[in-house]
Each structure stands twice: as C-alpha cells, then as structure tokens.
Chain A
C-alpha cells in the first residue's frame, strides 16, 4: 500500500511523499482548509451585525 522510501534518510515529510503530489496536496490542504472555518465564523458575525 505504501510506496517504498527512496531518499537517503527516512522522515515524516518523506513518508507523505506517496506518489505524485501527495505531499504538496497535503500541505496545501492544511493551509487552505481552515479558511472554511474562518469563513463561517465571519458569516455568523456579519449576520449578527444585521
């Protein structure tokens, strides 16, 4: 199931490298997805202001 490790030293970030783009998609997601939470918080605030 997991890709064999090719780099010199195994590491957490190397492990996430499970084929094309898995590592970078993971990192992009953890950066961008919490904005959803900010979105709904702000939406609630705007509704309360009205």
Chain B
C-alpha cells in the first residue's frame, strides 16, 4: 500500500501558503518600522551639527547642495555645504521652511506634476525627471534658463518658469500654464530643492556629469 504523498496534498499547500503569506507580511512590517525610522525628516539641529539624514529637514533650503561621488558608498550622494541664499535669505526658521515645503508638496499634488514628470523616478515619462532638478546645470549660472527668464538666481528663474511655462518653451512639448501663483511657485522651488537633498542611493547616476560640473562647482 503506497502512502499518499504530502506533495499532492491540498492541506499541506494550504498551510504552507498561509505560513509564507503571514510570515512575509510580518517581515515587511518589521522592515517598514526600520525604514520608517530612517526616512523621517531630520531637524534644523541635525543640519547645524552635520548629522547626516536620508531626508534632511526643511531648513536644508538655507544651504548649498551638491551631488558628489562618495568613495565609501560607491555612488553619488547629495552633499550639504555652506550657507546659500534662497530668495535672498539663508536664515529661514524651521517653521518658515516647513511652511514653504508644505505649500510646495501640496502644490506638486494639486497640479498633478507626477502625471507628466517623474519625482524620485516615479510618475509619467512625458517630461524630465525632477528628483535632482534643483541641481540641473540648465538652471545654473552657465545654463540657459536664467537668461531666458531674465532672472539672476536659480530659484527666481525656476519660480518665473513655473508661473509662465508657456512663455519659456524649451521644447515642442511645452508645459501648460497651471495657474501657479508666485507664492506657490516659491513653495514648489523649495520642494524641489529639498528633494534634491534626499539620499536616493545614487539615482540618477552621473547626474549633470556631461556638462562637466554640477551646481557651478
């Protein structure tokens, strides 16, 4: 008499499926707790004390940000440098910077940015990725956009473009006018600057290399 094999037994597979699903879910929850702790926004004190955070606090807009190769990590990482003026100031308090970032993040959703652009590589592919847009040479002193918009700083050029994108077309595929106000544009630029300071494990690779320098370095 041959015994029935466990391998063709429904109960064995049902129990295995239950175990695998349950345990993988538990592992995911554990990993989520661990990751969540690591991706909380840093504080102003962290920035002042040079504590590295994956997602720095909003006051990172007071500092110069570059994207440099890290020998230790084996890829490029955002580096937060000395103070840098943002719309003429480098002393935004945690509340002020937080409010700007809040406005910008809300704006990025209210204007459906993600349905043409990618943010952190996610979204639509009809327009350029915005992950490191703040560091894009096109907006720097040697890029075309400051002259095109008639502004002298990167942030003002970006804000001007966002308010009247249809006037500064760089391609046949034009960004439409989304009714972005001056205040919203400022918030959006703060949001972009903050996003460029997030440690994305080296994505996008070689950003801005072809122009020879990042951020006028």
Contacts and interface: CB of A to CB of B under 8 A. Distances in A.
- Asked if chains A and B are in direct contact (CB within 8 A), the reply is yes
A42 B9 contact: yes
B38 to A, nearest CB: 5
Interface residues of A, number: 21
- Name which of B3, B9, B12, B24 has the most chain A CB atoms within 10 A of its CB: B12
B206 interface: no
Interface residues on B, range: 20 to 34
A32 B132 CA distance: 40
A7 B199 CA distance: 10
Nearest to B31: A13
B20 A31 contact: yes
B74 interface: yes
Interface of A: 6-9, 11-13, 27, 30-32, 34-35, 38-39, 42-43, 45-47, 50
Interface of B: 1, 3-4, 6, 9, 11-12, 15-16, 19-20, 23-24, 27, 31, 34, 38, 52-54, 72-74, 199
Given A38-B16, A50-B3, 15 more contacts: A6-B72, A6-B73, A8-B53, A8-B199, A11-B34, A30-B23, A31-B24, A35-B16, A35-B20, A38-B12, A39-B12, A42-B9, A42-B11, A47-B3, A50-B1
